């Protein structure tokens, strides 16, 4: 049986690298659009509905007509319909404002471009899952929610790209960003959790940062299991004093943090990290 194409652009099949997006597209010109990254396993999108809802909400906040979620879901599922035997892929969904002329002012009647693509599953070192990762503190600061609504997962990721350029050590998995009040917000591609005195804590993202789909899942699982949770102020010293800490996103699931800024944490993975990882894996089984 032949495999489906690697991508669909406005529903038309193509391969990664095919020159099919017009140079006038505002996604190319300005990063004017939204995107989602979704894990796919055995032909299923994991938390697909939640990702599509966030994409719809982000497009609405930007004044971009959002494509029908059912159409996007069908296109994404069609790209992984051949999966089986535990096979995994990454599905990336992008919606730009579409073609436009020179200048920042958006067209009065935009014609959005939608792209759905299938990408290989990343091969991270297995010990990052088993024994934890090293993280560093980035000099680059998180963009304030006053500048760009944190609910928007924008195609323009330059702030996080600059942060990711700060380290080249392949043994460092992630960098953490602060706001201008020195509070930890998130990683370049992850959300942060820590455990101290029996409480699961994660940064309050009402002022900056993107509330991840997996972050929400983890909070739901923790509360269902009776683990106290708190969304509040987190500073680097809180991470250094934590009993355990971990990172989350839709592709990695949970990565325990074993070391931050050269200082080791007491346990990686800690008991609550293990408990929540098992609960998350069971939900996706």
Query: The tokens of 30 are what?
Result: 């300005």
Q: Is 221 exposed, middle or buried (0-12, 13-18, 19+ CB in 10 A)?
A: buried
**Residue 233 belongs to a domain with what CATH number?**
3.20.10.10
Distances (CA, A) of 56 to 63, 70, 97, 127: 10, 11, 13, 36
Q: Are 132 and 13 in the same domain?
A: no
Please give the Cα distance from 152 to 154 (Å, whole number).
5
- In this structure, the dihedral spanned by the alpha carbons of residues 70, 76, 79 and 85, taken in order and rounded to 10 degrees, is -100
Sign of CA dihedral 25, 26, 31, 34: negative
Whether the predicted pLDDT of 151 surpasses 90: no
Residues 29 and 63 in one domain: yes
Is the separation of the CB atoms in 155 and 96 below 8 Å?
yes
Range(s) of the domain holding residue 113: 7-120
pLDDT of amino acid 2 = 61
Mean local confidence (pLDDT), 223-237: 97
Taking the C-alpha atoms of residue 52 and residue 35, their distance in angstroms, rounded to an integer, is 9
| Helix/strand/coil for 209 | coil
Record the tokens describing residue 175, joined without a space. Answer: 């960098």
Average the pLDDT over 18-45 and give the result.
96
- The answer to whether the beta carbons of residues 83 and 40 sit under 8 Å apart is yes
Over 70: is that where the pLDDT of 156 sits? yes
- Please list the residues that pair with 192 across neighbouring strands: 247
Whether 93 and 135 map to the same domain: the answer is: no
Residue 1 lies in a domain: no
User: Residue 1: its pLDDT value, please?
Assistant: 44
The answer to whether position 247 is within a domain reads: yes
Are 142 and 220 in the same domain? yes
Q: Is the pLDDT of residue 129 over 70?
A: yes
Of 101, 120, 139, which marks where a domain is finished? 120
**Residue 154 belongs to a domain:** yes
Number of folded domains in the chain?
Answer: 2
Tell me, what CATH number does 87's domain have?
A: 3.30.470.10
Alpha carbon distance 125, 169 (integer Å): 14
The pLDDT of residue 51 is 97
Which of 104, 120, 136 is the last residue in one of the domains?
120
pTM of the model: 0.94
The number of C-alpha atoms within 13 Å of 170 and in the hemisphere containing its C-beta is: 3
71 lies in a domain?
A: yes
Q: 58, 93, 120: which is the final residue of a domain?
A: 120
More confident residue, 180 or 285: 180
């Amino acid at each position: 049986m032949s495999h489906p194409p690697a991508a669909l652009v406005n529903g038309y099949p193509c391969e990664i690298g095919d020159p099919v997006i017009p140079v006038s597209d505002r996604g190319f010109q300005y990063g004017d659009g939204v995107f989602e990254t979704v894990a796919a396993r055995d032909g299923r999108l994991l938390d697909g509905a939640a990702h599509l809802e966030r994409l719809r909400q982000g497009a609405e906040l930007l004044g971009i007509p959002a494509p029908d979620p059912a159409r996007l879901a069908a296109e994404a599922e069609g790209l992984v319909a051949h999966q089986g035997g535990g096979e995994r892929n990454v599905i990336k969904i992008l919606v730009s404002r579409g073609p436009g002329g020179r200048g920042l002012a958006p067209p009065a009647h935009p014609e959005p471009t939608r792209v759905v693509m299938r990408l290989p599953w990343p091969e991270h070192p297995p010990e990052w899952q088993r024994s934890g990762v090293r993280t560093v503190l980035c000099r680059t600061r998180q963009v304030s929610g006053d500048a760009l609504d944190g609910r928007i997962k924008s195609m323009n990721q330059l702030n996080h790209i600059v942060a990711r350029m700060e380290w080249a050590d392949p043994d460092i998995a992630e960098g953490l960003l602060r706001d201008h009040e020195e509070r930890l917000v998130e990683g370049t591609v992850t959300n942060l959790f820590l455990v101290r005195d029996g409480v699961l804590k994660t940064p309050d993202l009402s002022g900056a940062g993107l509330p991840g789909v997996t972050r929400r899942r983890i909070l739901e699982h923790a509360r269902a299991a009776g683990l106290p949770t708190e969304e509040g102020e987190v500073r680097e010293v809180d991470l250094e004093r934590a009993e355990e800490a971990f990172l989350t996103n839709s592709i990695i699931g949970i990565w325990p943090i074993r070391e931050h800024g050269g200082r080791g944490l007491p346990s990686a993975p800690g008991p609550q990290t293990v408990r929540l990882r098992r609960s998350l894996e069971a939900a996706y089984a």
